[in-house]
């Protein structure tokens, strides 16, 4: 079983993330809400990254991110599916458990995959409970706005913190007709605002805003009391999230324009593998120093046996 580490010694919790709201709506009464008191450090932007296995989880956590998300992008960037829809709950649980073993400090959030929360609501809650109980997730992420309101409320009621996700929700790719920037018309922007308010009203502790115009993300961020975490939503969000494999150059497919590349790990792997293959073929690997040796006594005995 995978267990979340206890709070303390720098462990980031859901209330910590709530306190990191940078842009406080003017209507909120800060005095009556102690969770909203913040010093300078409480205003730091929230840094979120995806991870899908033990080594990436450890590296991302030790580098000091606030939230590690086991995103369902797992299906595309690690498992090679065309999109996120085929990913199963068992696959997500398997990878969340591996990530759990690598994360000590960051808040661990697991994505609910397509189909795991679209039917019977009690089954959706049971599926979310599995992420907490069997995989050690501290929160789940649910794609969708207004139409997920009741489910989010039910999950919160079951003590499962929820991160919302609105805008370009990849699980809706067929309804959207592909991967397109959302909220670009007056009607679409109004719908997005309704989605954001619904997710907050239902009790989510944060909301991902994906691929929406910067101006709209700014408006949502200034209106909500929960932190917004942007991906392709401009710099005014309370935090940012990226897909790890996109930002380190390990994604083999198309990467969107908002995904800044900080390293080229794919190229480093290719170069290393090519060099290794050449060394093996040319007899340069392994060297004598990379080989084990017998003691001189055993070597002599071995040679003597061969000579006799
Ligand atoms: O699946 C994922 O990685 C995500 C992030 C891009 C927010 O949902």
pLDDT per residue as tens digits for the range 88-134: 999 999 999 999 999 999 999 999 999 999 999 999 999 999 999 99
- Alpha-carbon distance of 150 to 241, in angstroms, equals 26
> For 200-211, how does the pLDDT look when each residue is reduced to its tens digit (9 = 90+)?
999 999 999 999
Pick the more confident residue, 153 or 38. Answer: 153
pLDDT-based confidence at 253, cuts 50/70/90?
confident
- Alpha-carbon distance of 302 to 296, in angstroms, equals 10
Average pLDDT of the residues in 163-184: 94
Instruction: Judge if the beta carbon of residue 71 lies within 6 A of ligand 1.
Output: yes
Residues in the chain: 308
The conformational region for residue 138 under phi > 0 = left, psi -120 to 50 = alpha, else beta, is alpha
Instruction: Judge if the beta carbon of residue 73 lies within 6 A of ligand 1.
Output: yes
Is the CB of residue 210 less than 8 Å from the CB of residue 166?
A: yes
pLDDT-based confidence at 172, cuts 50/70/90?
very high
Pick the more confident residue, 175 or 279. Answer: 279
Instruction: Judge if the beta carbon of residue 241 lies within 6 A of ligand 1.
Output: yes
Tokens of 100: 């759990």
Is the CB of residue 264 less than 8 Å from the CB of residue 249?
A: yes
> For 49-85, how does the pLDDT look when each residue is reduced to its tens digit (9 = 90+)?
999 999 999 999 999 999 999 999 999 999 999 999 9
Instruction: Judge if the beta carbon of residue 243 lies within 6 A of ligand 1.
Output: yes
pLDDT, residue 304, reads: 87
Tokens of 255: 């990467």
Q: Whose CA is nearest to atom 1 of ligand 1?
A: 71
pLDDT, residue 31, reads: 44
pLDDT, residue 167, reads: 98
pLDDT, residue 178, reads: 87
Quote the ligand 1 centre to 23 CA distance (angstroms): 23
Q: Measured from the CA of 170, which atom of ligand 1 is nearest?
A: 8
Quote the ligand 1 centre to 186 CA distance (angstroms): 26
Average pLDDT of the residues in 255-275: 96
Look at residue 279 and tell me whether its pLDDT is greater than 60. yes
pLDDT, residue 241, reads: 98
- For the chain, give the percent of residues with pLDDT over 70: 91
The answer to which of 11-25, 107-121, 238-252 has the lowest mean pLDDT is 11-25
> 26-32 long-range CB contacts below 8 Å, 24 or more apart?
28/225
| Helix%, strand%, coil% for the chain, nearest 5 | 45, 15, 45
| CB neighbourhood size of 59 (10 A) | 15
pLDDT-based confidence at 305, cuts 50/70/90?
confident
Quote the ligand 1 centre to 264 CA distance (angstroms): 20
Helix (H) or strand (E) holding 141: strand 139-143
Tokens of 203: 């009790």
Q: Measured from the CA of 208, which atom of ligand 1 is nearest?
A: 7
pLDDT, residue 1, reads: 55
Q: Which of 41, 61, 34 is nearest to 50 (CA)?
A: 61
Among 9-13, 176-180, 289-293, the range of highest mean pLDDT: 289-293
Which residues are annotated as catalytic? 210
Average pLDDT of the residues in 120-149: 98
Distance of CA 27 to the CA centre of its chain: 31
Peptide bond into 246 cis (omega under 30): no
pLDDT-based confidence at 25, cuts 50/70/90?
low
Average pLDDT of the residues in 150-160: 98
Q: CA angle 163-152-81, nearest 5°?
A: 60
Quote the ligand 1 centre to 126 CA distance (angstroms): 22
Look at residue 27 and tell me whether its pLDDT is greater than 80. no
Cβ within 8 Å of residue 97, ≥6 positions away: 2, 134, 135, 136
Look at residue 26 and tell me whether its pLDDT is greater than 60. no
């Amino acid at each position: 079983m995978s267990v979340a580490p206890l709070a303390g010694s720098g462990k980031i919790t859901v209330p910590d993330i709530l306190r990191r709201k940078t842009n406080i709506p003017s209507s909120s009464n800060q005095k009556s809400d102690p969770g909203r008191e913040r010093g300078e450090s409480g205003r730091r932007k929230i840094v979120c990254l995806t991870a899908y296995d033990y080594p990436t989880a450890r590296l991302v956590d030790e580098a000091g991110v606030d939230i590690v998300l086991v995103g369902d992008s797992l299906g595309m960037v690690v498992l090679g599916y065309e999109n996120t829809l085929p990913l199963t709950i068992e696959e997500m649980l398997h990878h969340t458990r591996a990530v759990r073993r690598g994360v000590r400090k960051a808040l661990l959030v697991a994505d609910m995959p397509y189909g795991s929360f679209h039917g019977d609501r009690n089954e959706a809650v049971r599926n979310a409970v599995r992420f907490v109980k069997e995989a050690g997730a501290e929160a789940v992420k649910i794609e969708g706005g207004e139409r997920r309101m009741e489910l989010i409320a039910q999950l919160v009621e079951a003590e499962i913190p929820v991160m919302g996700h609105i805008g370009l929700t990849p699980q809706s790719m067929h309804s959207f007709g592909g991967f397109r920037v959302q909220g670009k018309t007056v009607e679409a922007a109004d719908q997005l605002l309704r989605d954001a308010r619904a997710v907050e009203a239902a009790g989510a502790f944060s909301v991902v805003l994906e691929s929406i115009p910067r101006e709209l993300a700014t408006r949502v961020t200034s209106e909500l009391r929960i932190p917004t975490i942007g991906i392709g939503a401009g710099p005014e969000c309370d935090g940012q999230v990226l897909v790890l494999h996109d930002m380190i150059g390990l994604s083999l497919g198309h990467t969107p324009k908002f995904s800044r590349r900080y390293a080229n790990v794919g190229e480093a792997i290719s170069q290393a593998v090519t060099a290794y293959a050449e060394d093996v073929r040319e007899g340069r690997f392994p060297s004598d120093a990379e080989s084990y040796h017998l003691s001189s006594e055993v070597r002599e005995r071995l040679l003597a046996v061969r000579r006799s």
